Amino acid sequence: MDTLREAVKACRSGPGLVEALEGAGVAGGPIPGLIADCLNERAGAAAAGAPAVAPANGVAAPAAAAAAAPPGERASLDSALCVIDGLMFLSPRGKQQLALFKHCLMVKTAKADISVPWSAIQHVAIIDQIPGDTKGKVLLYLHLDSEAKVMNGKTHLAAVVIQTTGEAQLDVAHPQGPPGSRLRGPAPVVLCQALGVVPGGPAPASFVSPDPQYFQSAAAAAGVKAHVKAREGFLYPLPSALCFLEAPQLFIPHSRIASIELMRAGGTSSTFDLVVHLRGGHTQEFGMLSRSEVGGIEVYIRKCRLALGAAPDSEEEEEADEGGAEAGAEQEDSDDPEDEDFNPSSSSDEEEEGEGGQQRSGGSGGTKRKRAEGGEAGEGGEEEEEEDDESEEGGSEEESSDEDDEDDGSVELVSEDEFSTGQLRSVIASESSGGRRAKRQRGEPGGSGS
């Protein structure tokens, strides 16, 4: 009987066969030995001497060999640690068979066998309290590493999603228990237990589920309705990640998030957008969340210690800091004696030029007044000669004398009511004769003008 027990240990139906023989009272007879001999003879004839059953040491055939079936052939489940039939999957969609091997998880669909290495499963999320659900649905979300390149035919598989209910019951073989041991209970619990006990399977820290202390929607659900582009689904703010279901399947750990920005949250719109800025510069937008969820999202961001607002561009910040430092240095170092553009007399010269200009302008006005009265010697005489030449080229002697009179401000203003025609003529005649006398005096050689 011990020989048979070792021979069928790796077979899914082996423990049941042993129990049936023991229950029939034939364990001490020749039947168990004959069965073991038949299995060994078949193993010796199959696959050029390759063992069809586990050897005496009880080591099962590698699961990778079971998964790597030849093209056109389906993988064998003889070496599976646990097989669960009739599970509903959202990804890949449909009722499928789930098998757990030592080195991988396998989903057997109607057309293909999808092998998922244990190392490719990064996170396991147990999602309950689905918004709008009245049937007690529970989703088991297995997030896969994109680098593992798990394929469903020609389609890349981003996640394995199992749908069940809290009331559904499962009774399956224990993947690592003693022969005949079983896992029984609610389907979500049994599935998590089976995944957790497989050697090399998902680590306990990779399991996560919604926590009302971190987030609860306005309708007391674990998620909120949102859109990714044109596709509607539910966004689940988990204690250590953001998860979006049902399609596309997205799982964003907090470690990848640089900041979260709430767009249109302060306006009058009935919805707002949640933009996740990822480390590395990428973004993921969840659109059209209900405005009633703004408060809960803000509390979630604060409790998870995530940054709120637009993600700063590190390169732009560095450039801005460098540019600001350079501009500040230019302003602060403008009076530095070592500066190439430094001119210690520039500012004082400008001030002196301004004051000197005012003085020169005032002086020129005074010179013109003196010239109108009789002229000056030296440079003043030369300037007067130049002005006389310009006046002769540009107009008559009367126009020149009028300009000089206007410059020295000697014209007397009289009201029109007090002027008669005769008075006006006499004033014009006196001004003309005065201008001619002044010109003759300036034209005499060696005249001092005094």
The pLDDT tens digits for 312-361 are 665 544 444 444 444 444 444 444 444 444 454 444 444 444 444 444 44
Question: How far is Cα 174 from Cα 81, in angstroms, rounded to an integer?
Answer: 8
CB burial readout 296-334, b (16+ within 10 A) else e: bbeebbeebeeeeeebeeeeeeeeeeeeeeeeeeeeeee
pTM for the whole thing? 0.56
Q: Checking phi first, is residue 22 left (phi over 0); if not, alpha (psi -120 to 50) or beta?
A: alpha
Can you give the pLDDT at residue 58?
A: 40
Q: Are strands 121-127 and 207-208 parallel, antiparallel or unpaired?
A: parallel
Can you give the pLDDT at residue 422?
A: 66
Question: How far is Cα 385 from Cα 194, in angstroms, rounded to an integer?
Answer: 117
User: Is the four-CA dihedral 378, 382, 385, 387 of positive or negative sign?
Assistant: negative
The pLDDT tens digits for 372-418 are 444 444 444 444 444 445 444 444 444 444 544 444 545 555 555 55
The secondary structure of 9-69, three-state, reads CCCCCHHHHHHHHHHCCCCCCCHHHHHHHHHHHHHHHCHHHCCCCCCCCCCCCCHHHHHCC
Surface-to-core class of residue 22, CB atoms within 10 Å of its CB (0-12 exposed, 13-18 middle, 19+ buried): middle
Can you give the pLDDT at residue 120?
A: 94
Can you give the pLDDT at residue 56?
A: 38
Residues paired with 227 in a beta bridge: 232, 287
On whether the CB atoms of residues 58 and 6 are closer than 8 A, the answer is: yes
Write out residues in the chain with pLDDT < 50, as ranges. 45-68, 316-342, 344-388, 390-401, 403-407, 409, 447-450
Can you give the pLDDT at residue 384?
A: 46
Domains and their CATH numbers in the chain:
2-49 (no CATH), 63-208 (2.30.29.150), 224-303 (2.30.29.30), 397-450 (no CATH)
Can you give the pLDDT at residue 6?
A: 67
Can you give the pLDDT at residue 97?
A: 94
